[in-house]
C-alpha cells in the first residue's frame, strides 16, 4: 500500500486541473464538483497541505464535514464565479473559515497565492510541523488561511508520530516474531518443565506481537494516499485516466 509521507513537502510545481466538470447553473452547484476537486488536489487541502486522512479517523462520511470548496475570488465579491471550476480549490474547512472574505491582496500589494499558479515550495518550507513562509506572498497566505494554526500543526505532528510508530511495528515485528518462535521451538524440546513453560509464553507473546502488527497495518490505512472509501456520493465520474494523484504528491508516497 502507498501511504502519505510523515511530512508532506510543499509541492515543487502548481496543481494542474485535469478535470473539467460540466458547469452547474444552480446556486451552490459548485458543491457537486467535490469528486473532481478531490482528485485534482490529491485529497489534500491545497493551502495547508493537510490530507483527508489527517482530519478524520472515520472515513469519507466524516470527511464531508472537514473538507470544503474554497472560492479564490470570494462569492461576496464575485458571485458570477461561484460555480466556475477554475475559481475553486479543495480546502479544509479550517482554511476556508480562516480566509472568510479576506481580499486577494494585502495592504502592501502582495497577491494571495494560488496553488494552481504558484508552487508552494517557492514560498514555504516544511519545518517543525509548520509551513514556514519564505516570501512576503507566502507570509500573506499564511496569515489569510491560518496555515500554522495550533490545530493544523497538531494534526501534522500526529501524522508524523503515528506513521513512525505504526511503520516500526510493521517492519520490526516479523523479525521479533521469528526470533521468539525459534527460541520457543528450541526450549520446547527440553525436559525441563520451566523451559517448556517459557516456550509456551514466548509463543503467546509472538501471537500478541503479530496481532499488534496487524492492528498497526490497519491503522496505517488511514493515511493511504488515495482513500479507500469512494462511495457513490463522492465518486468522480470522469474518465479513469484522470483519476490519479498529482505527480508532486504521488512521488512523496511511501510504499509499504
- Kindly report, residue by residue over 27-82, the tens digit of the pLDDT: 999 999 999 999 999 999 999 999 999 997 655 555 556 899 999 999 888 889 99
Distance CA 235, CA 34 (A): 9
* Of 143 and 235, more confident: 143
- Name the average pLDDT for the chain: 92
- Across 109-113, 119-123, 221-225, 231-235, least confident range: 231-235
* pTM reported for the whole predicted model: 0.91
Mean pLDDT of 232-236: 69
Give the residue among 228, 215, 226, 227 at the shortest CA–CA distance from 166.
Answer: 215
**Residue found by looking up cell 464565479 in the block:** 81
**SS3 call for 67:** strand
Amino acid at each position: 500500500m502507498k501511504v502519505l509521507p510523515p511530512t508532506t513537502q510543499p509541492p515543487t510545481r502548481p496543481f494542474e486541473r485535469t478535470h473539467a466538470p460540466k458547469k452547474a447553473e444552480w446556486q451552490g452547484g459548485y458543491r457537486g464538483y467535490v469528486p473532481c476537486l478531490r482528485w485534482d488536489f490529491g485529497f489534500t487541502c491545497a493551502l495547508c497541505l493537510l490530507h483527508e486522512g489527517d482530519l478524520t479517523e472515520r472515513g469519507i462520511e466524516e470527511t464531508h464535514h472537514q473538507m470544503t470548496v474554497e472560492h479564490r475570488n470570494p462569492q461576496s465579491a464575485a458571485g458570477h464565479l461561484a460555480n466556475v471550476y477554475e475559481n475553486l480549490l479543495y480546502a479544509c474547512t479550517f482554511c476556508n473559515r480562516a480566509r472568510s472574505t479576506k481580499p486577494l491582496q494585502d495592504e502592501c500589494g502582495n497577491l494571495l497565492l494560488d496553488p494552481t499558479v504558484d508552487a508552494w515550495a517557492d514560498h514555504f518550507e516544511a519545518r517543525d510541523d509548520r509551513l514556514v513562509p519564505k516570501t512576503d506572498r507566502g507570509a500573506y497566505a499564511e496569515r489569510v488561511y491560518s496555515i500554522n494554526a495550533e490545530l493544523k500543526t497538531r494534526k501534522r505532528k500526529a501524522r508524523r508520530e503515528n506513521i513512525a510508530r505504526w511503520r516500526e511495528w510493521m517492519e520490526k515485528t516479523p523479525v521479533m516474531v521469528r526470533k521468539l518462535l525459534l527460541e520457543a521451538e528450541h526450549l520446547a524440546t527440553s525436559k525441563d518443565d520451566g523451559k517448556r513453560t517459557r516456550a509456551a509464553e514466548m509463543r503467546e507473546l509472538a501471537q500478541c506481537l503479530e496481532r499488534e502488527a496487524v492492528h498497526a497495518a490497519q491503522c496505517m490505512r488511514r493515511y493511504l494516499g488515495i482513500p479507500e472509501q469512494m462511495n457513490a456520493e463522492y465518486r468522480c465520474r470522469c474518465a479513469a485516466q484522470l483519476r490519479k494523484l498529482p505527480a508532486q504528491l504521488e512521488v512523496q508516497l511511501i510504499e509499504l
